[in-house]
Structure 1
Amino acid sequence: MTPGVRPLIAGNWKMNGTLREAAALAEGVRAGLDRVAGADLLICPPFLHLHVAAASMGWKPVAIGGQDCSADANGAHTGDISAAMLADAGCGYVILGHSERRADHSETDTLVQAKARAAIAAGLIPIVCVGETEAQRDAGEAEAVVAAQLAGSLPPDFANAKGVVAYEPVWAIGTGRTPTEADIAAMHGRMRAELAARFPGQGEATRLLYGGSVKPSNAAAILALPNVDGALVGGASLKAEDFLGIGAAVPA
């Protein structure tokens, strides 16, 4: 962890659950909040479930976020959700540039940066995701790929807006595989150096999350690494006990 930076444990529910299941999951997290004292918690339900999850959670002290937003403020964009709509629904954060969006919807660094600009303009904190494929890591290109994604995806006011970066190696998402602790520490160190160089005085304190098969059994070791300031949790966030267990791994 980074000294002086409060960790963030963010749950990305992805495209899962019914309204009833979302309410039950949120209530389960709320019931166990006393287990988590050392970190901020964030849940990011599907768009349709945002309000019911927030209401079931009691709105506070867990933050609510969206899983994506449009780069446009409004208009004829069928099926899209604007950052202002998310803010109006009570969101404080939005996940952008997740590898599943980059791969399934052909999102580029340029588009991710435009979305981050829109999120910041609406008062949201963007969580911008970066990460390499297995082929890129095997070719020794992992750090260069992530550095390029950071350069292309983050707008100039990112650090000033308290933006968050989430490193998720594509090959570790939902696979049960994780990089070694040394690999995670090396990548987070490289990201810290890139951010510190681009945003002097602010990049040193930008929260850097690790994502990719994080679970209660490995959370403590990962969260103890330098420059790892929390986790972006996928599958384990769909079980309140597991999500809370990851949060509880952060020392109070």
Structure 2
Amino acid sequence: MTKSPDQPWLKRLPILTILAVAALGAIYLRDYISFQALAENREALLAYRDANFVLTAGLFVLLYAVIVAFSLPGATVMTLTGGFLFATFPGALFNVTGATIGAVGIFLAARWGFGEQLGRKLEGSEGTVKKIKDGIDENQWSMLFLIRLIPAVPFFLANLIPAFLEVPLRRFVISTFLGIIPGAVVYTSVGAGLGEVFSRGESPDLGVIFEPHILLPILGLCALALLPVMLKAVRGKKGL
């Protein structure tokens, strides 16, 4: 007898596979995509890029998407590599594109496996949980941009949370692509200067995003994302 494709274990297979690969990757791949590995292979990478620019760009975006989709270690190193190989632009564009494709992969896997069922449970719940769910639904754009802009929110969680809250795919893609641009540009620009860092035998400053001249504009974008939520709250109080 043929098994129905609607069986729960089949729907959960993609996200469970991602989690398994992520666990294995954390154990066995940590040393393969690292700053040291980039430093040791930088000349070969530059030579290959010069000889095959389009192919290199395509393979880079594909590898970045796979790393994000399977939550493998090395996403930050890949962002730096994008800047090192392709400069701030188009490096930032390649980084954002790869990250968005990978994010869509894990988002769809999570929503297909658990998101629809969890979303129905939250929608049918009562009390505080239902109020939180309704509040997020009413301000989805603001919340989606906010979790992308805040540096402290792990990228993995920012991909899973919308899947469990029934966020439409189109909305997820747009908010992900646009929301990660500020951080991607910062780290890509750091990667663009890796040549000098390598020549000095130093390591890049990954804490640069928390420098006031960079963090404050990002926080300003966060406040802008929250503005519609605050306006709704003010109007709601006036209507009481």
TM-score by length of 1: 0.29
Whose radius of gyration is greater, 1 or 2?
2
Which has more strand, going by share of residues? 1
**Structure 2 length normalisation: TM-score?**
0.30
